[in-house]
Amino acid sequence: MSGVSASEPAGKKRTPRSRKPAPFDPEAFLEEVGVGKTIIELKKNQALFSQGDEADAVFYLQKGTIKLTVVSQRGKEATVALLQPGNFVGESCVAASETIRTLTAIALTRCTLMRIKRTEMVRVLHEEHAFSDVFVSFLLERNVRIQADLVDQLFNSSEKRLARILLLLANFGKEGKPETVVPKISQEVLAEMIGTTRSRVNFFMNRFRKLGFIEYNGKLEVHSSLLNVILHD
């Protein structure tokens, strides 16, 4: 027999099997440019958006550090949070149907972000359960952080609040060892975040350094031993 299978009649063409679409990859969606998605590059101190701007997109922080601030009706500014890679920025336009920005987002370092149009974000959240899980997990984690910040402000001393902020910036408690804090965070910003004065922050920072909890080597290094400040009554 010449090359024709006994189970397959001569001259009959094989029907190609349809390939299943590749499973949705949330990481790829947040990293790759596509429909409704563009890469944004920010210089140091450049605003991503300002309080009062139209809220028409969600951003995913790939590189750098973003500072979130709010200004009261009396003109007093306060730092709400410092966001590092892996965070969404401006997610309230989807999570809370926010149409106007209630915060200002400023780059503390050079930043790279994925800008996702609100309509595209809503579509993917509805159609891709894998991405919905990622986004909901982020929102829950952010909510827990907000509650912890509130408890911190109400019940802890300025020294403990400063130690907690430094440990969070050093990614303490996440995979791997605490990292060098990047960028250098000014003592004014730290004072705003913990609700005290710059002179008090300077006093505590010098104390932490003498005790070996932190080091200044051009960059600020935070050691896990700083946790003793929070645990100590």
* Residue extents of the structural domains in the chain: 26-152, 156-231
Residue 181 and residue 220 in contact, taking contact as beta carbons nearer than 8 Å: yes
Stronger pLDDT, 22 or 190, i.e. the higher one: 190
Give 179-190 pLDDT, tens digit per residue: 666 567 888 889
Q: Please, what is the Cα angle at 163 between 199 and 215, to 5 degrees?
A: 80
Residue 65 and residue 44 in contact, taking contact as beta carbons nearer than 8 Å: no
pLDDT at 2 over 50: no
Dihedral over Cα of 222, 225, 231, 233: its sign: negative
Give 46-63 pLDDT, tens digit per residue: 999 999 999 999 999 999
Query: What does the pLDDT read at residue 220?
Result: 85
Q: Which CATH class is domain 156-231?
A: mainly alpha
* CA 136 from centre of chain: 14
Give 62-76 pLDDT, tens digit per residue: 999 999 999 988 888
Cα–Cα distance between 145 and 143 in angstroms, integer? 5
Cα–Cα distance between 83 and 24 in angstroms, integer? 26
pLDDT at 11 over 60: no
Query: What does the pLDDT read at residue 153?
Result: 81
> Measuring CA to CA, which residue among 133, 59, 122 is closest to residue 91?
59
Going by the DSSP 8-state scheme, the letter that residue 80 receives in this structure is E
Residue 66 and residue 60 in contact, taking contact as beta carbons nearer than 8 Å: no
Is there a shared CATH topology between the 26-152 domain and the 156-231 domain? no
CATH number of 26-152: 2.60.120.10
Give 146-168 pLDDT, tens digit per residue: 888 888 887 889 999 999 888 88
